[in-house]
Amino acid sequence: MTTRMPTAVDRRAFLQMSGALVVSFSAASILDAADVVQGPFDTRRSHVDPTQLDSWLAVGADGGVTAYTGKCEFGQGMYTAQIQLVAEELSVPVSRVKLIQCDTSICPDQGTTSGSQSTPTNFNERNLAQAAATAREALLRLASQRLGVPVDRLSASDGVVGVKGDAGKRVSYGELVGGKRFDVTVNAHAPRTAVADWKVMGTPVPRVDMTEMATGTFEFVHNVRVPGMLHGRVVRPASVGAAVASVDEASVRGMPGLVKVVVRKNFVGVVCEKQWQAIQAAAKLKVVWTAGPGLPAQHDFYDHLRKQPARDAAVVDSKDVDQKMTAASSVLKATYQHPYQMHGSMGTSCAVADVQGNKATVWSPTQSAYPTRSGVAAVLGIPPDNVRVIYVRGSGCYGINGADTVSYDAALLSHAVGKPVRIQLSRQDEMAWENYGFAYVIDQRAAVDRSGTIAAWDYESWSPSLGGRPGYDQPGNVVTGMLVGFEPAAPAPRAAGAPRGPLRNGSNAVPSYLAGCIDGSCNGAGTIKSERVVTHTIASPFFTGPLRSPARLQNTFAHECFLDEIAAHVKADPVEYRVRHLSDPRLREVVQAAAKAAKWQPRPSPQRTGSGRGIACVAYEGDNGYVAMVADVDVDQSSGRIRVRKLVVAQDCGPITNPDGMKNQIEGGALQGLSRALGEEVTWDERKVTSIDWRTYHSLPLGFDVPEVESVLINRNGVEASGAGETAITIVAAAVGNAVFDATGARIREVPFTPERIVAALRARS
Amino acid sequence: MSEIALNVNGRSHRLDVDPATPLLYVLSDDLGLNGPKLGCGLGQCGACTVIVRGRAVRSCVTPIGTVAGAEITTLEGLGTAEKPHPLQQAFIDEQAAQCGFCLNGVILTAKAFLDQKPKATEAELQQGLASVLCRCFTHVRMLRAIKKYQEKRV
C-alpha cells in the first residue's frame, strides 16, 4: 500500500531536511516593482513576493538548491528545463537542484503556464532566470567577504566558490548561506551566464522524471491519496443549457458506500467510499433536467456563425483594399472552415480536495494555480487566502482541459461532506463539457498584379467564444462554475474601431505576408501594404478555451493554404513565392532551411501524380517562434485516404535550452497537428455533444502509419528565447493540405480532411 | 461482497470486494498502484492495461472476479527504477514520453504483443498498437524504443 501523506507534509519535511525553509512573505507595499518583475501574463500580488530572491531560491545547509517556480511541467519538459537554468546560473550539478512548482503556499504567482510563455517568462531577463543570476551574484559577494578576495578573482563551480590561482582557498554555497535567507532584492541587472559559456543549458539533459514514468512509479494527481479520502462523481446536465428540475435521492438510497448526494443549483454529484461505488451511484441517480434551449444545426453551423451578432475588431486596415481589388489583374477568393476540436486528454481530469470549515487544500493539475485558488474560493464562498492549491501533474492538457473544472468539483464535494474527496471525471463528462478549441470560418481575398505579385490581401473571420480560462474572477468560464451560478464570459456585440498600434498579432489573424502597418508603423512579417484584417467573435453554444495554438492554428491554416492557392494561380514555386512576400529574415530563413532539408525542387503546384509535397510557415504570434514545414503525402484517389510519408520541420526559437526536449515538442506537435488535420472534430445533435469517447472523436492511435519527422533546429543566440510548444502544430494542416493539392490538384478547405471530403474535393476539381 | 484472491506483481492479496468491480479500481484504490491508469473506462485507450496470463488486458473493463488467482503484472511489476525491464530501459534511452500518462498502456501492450510475436513485422506491430492512444503524440520515439527493444531481443 503506497498511501502517502498530503504533499504538504512531504515538502515541509524536505525543506527542513535541507534546512532551507526561507520563503519570503512580505507586506503589500511593492506593487509596481512586482508588476515590473512579472511576466506579460496577468498575475496578482500574493504573499510570495516576486521581487525578493528568497521567493525563488534557497540554498540548504548541504549546498542543495531549491527553486520555486510558477511555471509547471505538463509533459513539455519545463521541469527539467528550469532545473537546467538554475544549475547553469548557479554552477551546480543538475542533480543538486530541486524544483518546487506551482504551490500557492510557497511559489511565486506566475499566473498561468500557457501560451508558449514559460520560456519567454522564465529564461530571459526576469523572474526565475534573473533570480538565479542574483543568487550567484550574492554568493560571490558573500564569498568575497569570507575569503577576503575581490569578486573578480573568484569563480564558482560545482556549488563551491574558489579563488583563481589559489586552490587552497574555497568555500561552499552551503557554508556561505546554507539554511539562511539571502535577504536581497532580485537584481534586474545581475549578469547572466553568456550563451557561449553554457555547460548545462543548450545540452540534451534527459528528463528527470523519465525513469519514474517508464517504471510506473511517477505520481500523477490521479495517484494522490489522502488519509480518509472518499470518492466523488458528478452528474452533468443531460443537454447543453439544461437546468435541474428535480433530483430523486431515493433512487440511490441504500447503495453500498454512498455517503451523500450533493446538489447545488445545477451542480449534482455523489460521494461514496469507493470509486466504483461512486461511478455506479452517479449512473443510477435519477435527475430530471429541463430540455435546454437546443443547439444550432451542425450541418450549416459555419453559415449560422456569419449571421449572428458579433464583437468586431479590425486588426489592420490600409483603407485601400477594395480599390486595389477593383484595379487588380485578377482577384482570388476562398473560404476555409475549421471545426471545434477538443483537448481530449489521455486521462480524464482528476483532483483531490480537502475542505475543512472555511479552509481548503486542493491537489490540482491546473495550469493556473493562483487563479484556481481564487476560483475555488469563489465557488466555496471563502477568502482566497484560505485556499491552498498544490499543483500535481495530470494527463497532458494542451490547454484548458477539465483540470480547472474538476478542481471546483472536488472542492464542492469535499465541502459538502467535510472530508477529503477525490474525483476523476468520466470520459463522457470530460469530452462533452470541456472548453473546446475555437471553430472558425475564414474568408480570404487577394488581388494579384500583372507581375504575379500580391497587391492586396483581405481577411475576414467568424469565430464563436464562450467562457475560457477562469482567471482570478470568472469561475463561470468552466462548466462547474456555471452550474453553481457564475456567468461565463461571452462576447458582447460591438462594431470594430479603427486599428490602434502597435500591431498585435498574438492570434496570427494577420497573415505573415502582410506588412502590418498601423499609423505608419509596420511590424508585420511581410511586404503586402494593402491589407485588411477584420474579425467577428460570436457567442458560442459550447464552452471554448485555449487549445494548443488557439486561433493561431485555424488562422494559419487559412493563410498558408490561401498563399499556396495564389502561388498556384500565378504558376509560382510555393517556396520562392513565400520568400518573395516575406520581409522577416528569421521567417525567410526557416522556410529556406525546411526546403533545403527536404531537397525541395522548385516548381509550381499541382504536379497531380498522386504524390505531392506542400510547405507552410508561421511566425508564431507574430514574434514568438519561427517555423516552417514540408509535408510529403500520397493520396489514394479512389478512397480519399491520405498517407503522410514525411514531415520536415525547421525551427528558430532563439537560444535552445534543451535540443532533445525541443525535438520532442516538434515531433509531438507535428503528429498531434496531423491527428487534428485528418480526423478530429467535435460533433453534436439538437441538444448535446455526441463526440464523447474515442469511437466518436477520432485521434490517430499509436498504430497508424506514422510518418518520419525530421527536425532542423536553428539555434540562434543574441535574441530572446521564445516558446517552442505550439510552433510545429500550427502549420501541419496547411502543409498537408498544400501537399494534397500538389498531389491531386484538389484543394481541401475544411478541417478535418476526412476521406469523404477528399473524395468530394477530387470530384469538384476543375 | 466476497473475498477474492489476487496475485499482483508476485504478491498475494485477499480482498473483500464486489466481484463485478473492474480490476483497475482495486489495483489503484485498494492496492495503491500508480502504473495502471483510468483513461476512458471503456477499454478504448489502453491506459489501464495490465498483463494477465501473458496477455495485455484492459483492467477498466475486466471484472475482478474473472482474474481471481491469475498472475497479474502492472508496469511497476515489470521492472524497477533501479533495474528497469529492457523495454522500459529502451523508453528511457529514447526519452520516449511527454506527459507519460499513456506509457503504461504503450509499454505493457507492446511487451505482451512481442512476447507472443517476437518477430512481428512493422505492419503487425502497427496492428498490435491499433487501439493504444498517446495524446501527446510521442509516437516517433515510442515506436523507435519498441523496435530497438525488439531487435535486441530477437
| Per-position DSSP letters for A680-704, written without gaps between them | ----B-SSSB---STTTS-PPPTTS
Picking from A277, A281, A230, A263, the residue whose alpha carbon sits closest to that of residue A410 is: A230
Residue A217 lies in a domain: no
**Same domain (yes/no): B38, B106:** no
φ, ψ of residue A353 to 5 degrees: the values are -130, 145
Give the type of residue at A296: P
| Residue at a domain's end among B58, B78, B98 | B78
Residue A765: which pLDDT band, with cuts at 50, 70 and 90?
confident
Residue A220 lies in a domain: no
* Residue A215 C-beta-side C-alpha neighbours within 13 Å: 16
Looking at the complex, report in whole angstroms how far the Cα of residue B135 sits from the nearest Cα belonging to chain A.
6
**Same domain (yes/no): A378, A508:** no
**Structural domain count of chain A:** 3
Looking at the complex, report in whole angstroms how far the Cα of residue A323 sits from the nearest Cα belonging to chain B.
47
CB atoms within 10 A of CB A396: 28
Is the pLDDT at A39 greater than 60? The verdict is no
Measured between beta carbons, the chain B residues lying within 8 angstroms of A344 are: 135
Considering all CA atoms of chain B, what is the largest pairwise distance in Å, rounded to the nearest integer?
A: 47
CATH of the domain at B13: 3.10.20.30
What secondary structure, in 3-state letters, does A705-726 show?
CCCEEEEEEECCCCCCCCCCCC
Measured between beta carbons, the chain A residues lying within 8 angstroms of B38 are: 222, 347-348, 424
φ, ψ of residue B145 to 5 degrees: the values are -65, -45
**Same domain (yes/no): B53, B14:** yes
**Same domain (yes/no): B36, B67:** yes
**Same domain (yes/no): A401, A277:** yes
Cell of A635: 493520396
Residue A381 lies in a domain: yes
Q: Do B99 and A664 touch (CB under 8 A)?
A: no
Measured between beta carbons, the chain B residues lying within 8 angstroms of A347 are: 37-39, 47, 101
Cell of A167: 586552490
Each residue's pLDDT tens digit, A490-547:
999 999 999 998 999 999 999 999 999 999 999 999 999 999 999 999 999 999 999 9
* Mutant choice from B135, B138, B148 vs A, greatest count of A C-beta within 10 A: B135
Residue A216 lies in a domain: no
Is the pLDDT at A35 greater than 90? The verdict is no
**Same domain (yes/no): A504, A623:** yes
Distance CA A126, CA A122 (A): 6
Residue with cell 514525411: A646
Distance CA A443, CA A628 (A): 23
Is the peptide bond prior to A502 cis by the omega test (within 30 degrees of 0)?
A: yes
**Same domain (yes/no): A44, A170:** yes
Q: Do B34 and A256 touch (CB under 8 A)?
A: no
Give the type of residue at A177: V
Q: Do B44 and A660 touch (CB under 8 A)?
A: no
CATH of the domain at B95: 1.10.150.120
**Same domain (yes/no): B102, B74:** no
Per-residue pLDDT, A4:
39
Per-residue pLDDT, A124:
86
Each residue's pLDDT tens digit, B52-103:
999 999 999 999 999 999 999 999 999 999 999 999 999 999 999 999 999 9
Picking from A582, A630, A571, A563, the residue whose alpha carbon sits closest to that of residue A606 is: A571
**Same domain (yes/no): B99, B135:** yes
Distance CA A197, CA A717 (A): 12
* Mutant choice from B26, B98, B127 vs A, greatest count of A C-beta within 10 A: B98
Residue with cell 474572477: A473
Any A CB within 8 A of B132 CB? yes
Q: Do B37 and A222 touch (CB under 8 A)?
A: yes
Residue A644 lies in a domain: yes
Q: Collapse the DSSP code of A502 into the 3-class scheme (helix H, G, I; strand E, B; otherwise coil) and give the result.
A: coil
pTM for the predicted model, two decimal places: 0.94
Spacing of C-alpha A222 from chain mean position: 21
Residue A212 lies in a domain: no
**Same domain (yes/no): A569, A536:** yes
Q: Which domain holds residue B97?
A: 86-153
**Same domain (yes/no): A367, A507:** no
A214: nearest CB among B33, B103, B127 = B103
Range 84-123 of A in CB contact (< 8 A) with B: none
* DSSP for A296-339, written as a single string: --STTHHHHHHTS--EEEEEEE-S-HHHHHHHSSEEEEEEEEE-
Looking at the complex, report in whole angstroms how far the Cα of residue A619 sits from the nearest Cα belonging to chain B.
23
**Same domain (yes/no): B69, B106:** no
Residue A619: C-alpha distances to residues A328, A632, A713 (Å): 28, 22, 15
Parallel, antiparallel, or unpaired: how do β-strands A626-636 and A641-652 relate? antiparallel
Angle at A154 between CA A152 and CA A158, to 5 degrees: 145
DSSP letter at A250? G
**Same domain (yes/no): A390, A492:** no
Per-residue pLDDT, A14:
36
Q: Do A702 and B101 touch (CB under 8 A)?
A: no
Looking at the complex, report in whole angstroms how far the Cα of residue A401 sits from the nearest Cα belonging to chain B.
12
Please report the ipTM that was assigned to this predicted complex.
0.98
A211: nearest CB among B25, B75, B92 = B92
- Counting DSSP H helices and E strands in chain B, the numbers are 6, 5
φ, ψ of residue A308 to 5 degrees: the values are -90, 150
Mean predicted confidence (pLDDT) in A185-203? 95
Q: Do B34 and A219 touch (CB under 8 A)?
A: yes
**Same domain (yes/no): A317, A360:** no
**Sign for the pseudo-dihedral over CA of A342, A343, A347, A350:** negative
Mean predicted confidence (pLDDT) in B140-153? 97
Any A CB within 8 A of B138 CB? yes
Measured between beta carbons, the chain A residues lying within 8 angstroms of B117 are: none
Any A CB within 8 A of B134 CB? yes
Distance CA A163, CA B48 (A): 56
Range 269-298 of A in CB contact (< 8 A) with B: 274-276, 279
**Same domain (yes/no): A307, A377:** no
Cell of A323: 480599390
**Same domain (yes/no): B70, B117:** no
Length of chain A measured in residues: 766
Residue A210 lies in a domain: no
Cell of A213: 514514468
**Same domain (yes/no): B41, B71:** yes
Cβ burial of A570 (10 Å; 0-12, 13-18, 19+) is: middle
Q: Which domain holds residue A490?
A: 302-340+438-763
Parallel, antiparallel, or unpaired: how do β-strands A708-714 and A517-518 relate? unpaired
**Same domain (yes/no): B74, B90:** no
Looking at the complex, report in whole angstroms how far the Cα of residue A370 sits from the nearest Cα belonging to chain B.
22
Residue with cell 448535446: A688
**Same domain (yes/no): A602, A668:** yes
As beta bridge partners, residue B55 has B52
CATH of the domain at A574: 3.30.365.10
**Same domain (yes/no): B66, B102:** no
Strand ranges inside A489-545, DSSP E? 517-518, 521-522, 531-539
**Same domain (yes/no): A411, A546:** no
Q: Collapse the DSSP code of B105 into the 3-class scheme (helix H, G, I; strand E, B; otherwise coil) and give the result.
A: helix
Per-residue pLDDT, A16:
37
**Same domain (yes/no): A634, A727:** yes
**Same domain (yes/no): B14, B67:** yes
As beta bridge partners, residue A272 has A231, A258
**Same domain (yes/no): B144, B127:** yes
Each residue's pLDDT tens digit, A343-369:
999 999 999 999 999 999 999 999 999
Range 7-66 of B in CB contact (< 8 A) with A: 18, 21-22, 25, 28-29, 31-35, 37-42, 44-45, 47
**Structural domain count of chain B:** 2
Looking at the complex, report in whole angstroms how far the Cα of residue B116 sits from the nearest Cα belonging to chain A.
17
Q: Which residues contact A464 (CB under 8 A, 6 or more apart)?
A: A305, A438, A439, A537, A538, A539, A540, A541, A542, A544
Is the pLDDT at A33 greater than 70? The verdict is no
